[in-house]
Amino acid sequence: MRVMCRGIYGAALLFAAGGAAAQSSVTLYGVADTFVQYLDNGGNHSFSLRSGGSTGSQFGFKGVEDLGGGLKTVFDLETGYTINNGAYFADSTAMFYRQAWVGLKDDTYGSLTLGRQYQPSFWAVYFTDPFRGNEVMSLLAAADLAGATDRSTLATQYVSGRTSNAIVYQSPDLRGVHLYAMYALAATVTQPLAIRSGNMLDLAANYSGYGFYAGVGYQFQHGGQESAPLVPGTLSTFNLQSMEHFTGALAYRIGIVNLQFNYSYNRPKDVPSGSLVTVTPTARIPASMLVHAYSILGVGATIQASAEDVIEISGIERDVRDEHDNSLGIEIGIDHSLSKRTSLYGRAGYIKNNGSAAMSWPGVTGVPAGSKQVLAVVGMTQRF
């Protein structure tokens, strides 16, 4: 731990020294977020202390160097952690799991950045989720991640929000319009599951003005490979199918209420024919059982009840095509600001799975197919 602390302090001093020499600016920023959770998971009741219920606990370094003539060098290195136990968030092998990129930004022509980055389709839908795509407590994130746990879509791929080995272009503000384009090379991760993803193309655009927001996105993922247990105790390796993801999002503000809507349709490009997946040493199933198109529909509202209080309401449906397999969810939240940096929050939610669906809030494991979840949390966020 002492070595890690010295490394972080050393990195901060190095960035600061480099910034002073090049007349650039470097900012250390972060979030500390923790909450107490009650969960009824298919009849199993538990209490736990967790991290990142409102905003993911994180810290990072971001910087900019002015090169003159409206051109700048920019970078962002951002990691996630769990404040309840001090561990890395999601992937202990990745120092900067959330973001790690560098590039050039021009006031007239936009930016070109390279590294691990947010996908354009994420920016298309982000502003229409009342819980801002939170990786722990957002129903939209839960519906997306169900692609990795729902047996009917286990061999498909989902819009993960971030991608490694990515080259991203973002336009400047064009009278409220922003354009995004990304191409990412193949990447491999080992946690939480061993997954090799293929190359990816992602295009998106959004518009914001006069209280109105609209976003559209298209993502194409080449095939990959995954190793996951289809039954407890046995690891199966199978191909992930090439996928197309179509996303649309709308929001409109009426006084203190921001009404929000988003929809995505996700379809495999090449459904396997005749290939088998090993479930146990003596049992195999057709790969087509793990590949189905699916859609995610989200509606919600964000209400600025007072200068200090915000109320969030979200509803979602995840529907697997050609299967009796769907999930419904509803979530209500409230955030109360104690200051510009510190806030208290509460969340309450319900998820009902039908058929073989096994959607859950991210981080909750052992969800029986067709079960329900009831959740309530209270937490605190501090930004620095």
Say if 162 falls within a structural domain.
Answer: yes
In tens, the pLDDT along 24-66 reads 899 999 999 999 999 999 999 999 999 999 999 999 999 999 9
pLDDT at position 275, please?
Answer: 74
**Of the candidates 162, 180, 183, 160, which has an alpha carbon nearest to the alpha carbon of residue 170?**
180
The DSSP secondary-structure symbol of 289 reads: G
Q: What is the distance between the alpha carbons of residues 379 and 216, in angstroms, rounded to a whole number?
A: 33
Cβ atoms within 10 Å, residue 269? 12
Strands 212-221 and 372-383: unpaired
Between the two ends of the chain, the Cα-to-Cα distance in Å is 22
Cβ-count burial 63-99 (b if 16+ within 10 Å, e if not): bbbeeeeeebebbbbbbbbbbeeeeebbeeebebbbb
Say if 109 falls within a structural domain.
Answer: yes
Say if 20 falls within a structural domain.
Answer: no
Cβ-count burial 6-29 (b if 16+ within 10 Å, e if not): eeeeeeeeebeeebeeeebebeee
pTM comes to 0.90
Say if 245 falls within a structural domain.
Answer: yes
Q: Specify the range with the lowest mean pLDDT, choosing from 42-56, 61-75, 276-290, 292-306.
A: 276-290
- Listed in sequence order, the residues at least 6 apart from 232 whose beta carbon sits closer than 8 Å to its beta carbon are none
Say if 50 falls within a structural domain.
Answer: yes
Q: Residue written as tokens 């919600």?
A: 300
Q: Give the CATH number of the domain where residue 242 resides.
A: 2.40.160.10
**What is the domain extent for residue 315?**
26-383
In tens, the pLDDT along 168-221 reads 999 999 999 999 999 999 998 887 778 889 999 999 999 999 999 999 999 999
Element holding 9 (H helix, E strand): helix 2-22
Q: For the residues 273-299, what does the mean pLDDT come to?
A: 81
- Determine the Cα angle at 144 with ends 139 and 146, to 5°: 95
Residue 198 tokens, joined: 């293929």
Say if 13 falls within a structural domain.
Answer: no
- Listed in sequence order, the residues at least 6 apart from 384 whose beta carbon sits closer than 8 Å to its beta carbon are 29, 30, 31, 32, 341
Residue 245 tokens, joined: 């993801």
Say if 347 falls within a structural domain.
Answer: yes
Amino acid at 311: I
List beta partners, residue 291.
Answer: none
- Listed in sequence order, the residues at least 6 apart from 9 whose beta carbon sits closer than 8 Å to its beta carbon are none
Q: How many domains does the chain have?
A: 1
Q: What is the distance between the alpha carbons of residues 149 and 322, in angstroms, rounded to a whole number?
A: 18
pLDDT at position 279, please?
Answer: 66
Q: For the residues 240-244, what does the mean pLDDT come to?
A: 92
In tens, the pLDDT along 80-134 reads 999 999 999 988 889 999 999 999 999 999 999 999 999 999 999 999 999 999 9
Say if 7 falls within a structural domain.
Answer: no
Q: What is the distance between the alpha carbons of residues 143 and 306, in angstroms, rounded to a whole number?
A: 30
Q: Residue written as tokens 């995505």?
A: 264
Cβ atoms within 10 Å, residue 209? 10
User: What is the four-CA torsion angle of 164, 207, 313, 266, rounded to 10 degrees?
Assistant: -50
